[in-house]
Amino acid sequence: MKNLYIDCSMGAAGDMLMAALLELIPDREVFLSKMNALGIPGVRISAEEKQTCGIRASHVRIVIDGEEEGLHHHHVHEHEHHHHHSGLAEIRSLIKGLELSEQVKKDALAVFELIAEAESKVHGQTMEQIHFHEVGTLDAVADVVGNCLLLSMIGADHISASPVHVGSGTVKCAHGVLPVPAPATALILQGIPIYSAEIKGELCTPTGAALLKHFVDKFGPMPLMRVEKTGYGAGTKEFERANCVRVMLGETEEEGRDQVLELAANIDDMTAEEIGYAIEILMEQGALDAYAENIVMKKSRPAVKLCCMCRPEDKEEMVRLLFKHTTTIGIREYRCGRSTLARRFEQRKTAWGEVSVKVCEGYGVEKVKAEFEDLAKIAKEENLSIKDVKKEIHE
């Protein structure tokens, strides 16, 4: 599986992430030519080499009518009569009119929706009332579209990232001096692991936060992977640490490794039939597994521990079903790593016709198992034992 890992130990900004991703593609000129041919008003994008703390990195320059990105902000601010402002509807129209794949457009629009939603909450306005400064809008569009296009070109199956360093102190914007992370950035980063360390200044921008929120599947340590390419994207500011976003592209080593939740409840006042019915409901509604264990509770009461294994995203629905279909008033939750073999079904010819067979592969092993219903049907029709049928099929 092709995995992209984003190191956010110096935060995340749209231009820095774009510069880092640019180092992962074979021919950067193909990307730059495509971006400059899109026709984003007044925008010109180029890339150059830059040193940061002795590390060679790429730096992307976005120039709008002669003004380079970094000399203005992406933050939304109130209407000023001497500037033109763009609303979310105008941004949608601009992106939809670009010659890009529908998926890239969809991703870019989703990122802007995240930014607009956060800004609307911060300013107490609807998303449609939010207005972006003209220059800030254009370089933000270039940042967002550029990153979405690069990620499409890279084609990673899975994107993960480190916890995000947001910086510390304050940042100056159109509304005045605000704490780091800025309010809109903090809203976008809700649910994402973040931290603040010794670096003074804003390390994660709203654009960077929204790109991470939309694209990253998982935040945490770098997974076990065979790294094939590494890219560094430098920012404009200088710190005592290398101011860059690092990205690594490679193949993950963890075949069939994923995260699951195990939900458990102790029950001593339900019949076996009721427990069985609850298990059936859980399985029908998407549980990976559901089962019951005999236990002894306090005062030596015999009871059942009902367990439900599910994907993390299905947790709320499984919890709801457990409370609805059992008498429990409390549910425990355990997060587990799970290693699985890749599975597929095949039709195999036998002396008695075709049989459905499940083939499981991975970790250097292969396991084959015929479907029980098919085995039972043949055994009954041929007056054989299931053991004899299995032996004949596997031989």
Asked if pLDDT for residue 253 goes beyond 90, the answer is no
CB burial class (10 A; 0-12, 13-18, 19+) of residue 180?
Answer: buried
pLDDT in the model for residue 369 = 85
**Which element (helix H / strand E) includes 293?**
strand 289-296
Of the candidates 172, 122, 150, 103, the one whose C-alpha atom is nearest the C-alpha of residue 6 is 150
pLDDT level of residue 80 (50, 70, 90 thresholds): very low
Q: In one letter, which amino acid is 376? A: A
Domain ranges of the chain: 2-252, 257-339, 342-394
Q: pLDDT category, 170, cuts 50, 70, 90?
A: confident
DSSP 42: T
- The pLDDT of residue 216 is above 90: yes
Q: What is the DSSP letter of 108?
A: H
pLDDT at residue 171 tops 70:
yes
Q: d(Cα 375, Cα 315) in Å, to the nearest integer?
A: 35
Q: Is the pLDDT of residue 374 over 90?
A: no
Mean pLDDT over the full length of the chain:
86
**Do the beta carbons of residue 357 and residue 394 sit within 8 Å?**
no
Residue 294 CB neighbours (<10 A) = 8
pTM for this entry: 0.62
Identify the pLDDT of residue 18: 96
- SS3 letters for 296-325? ECHHHCEEEEEEEEECHHHHHHHHHHHHHH
Q: CB under 8 Å to 194, separation ≥6 — which residues?
A: 163, 164, 165, 166, 181, 204
Superfamily classification of domain 257-339: Transcriptional regulatory protein pf0864 domain like (3.30.70.1380)
Q: Give the model's confidence band at 74: pLDDT under 50 very low, under 70 low, under 90 confident, else very high.
A: very low
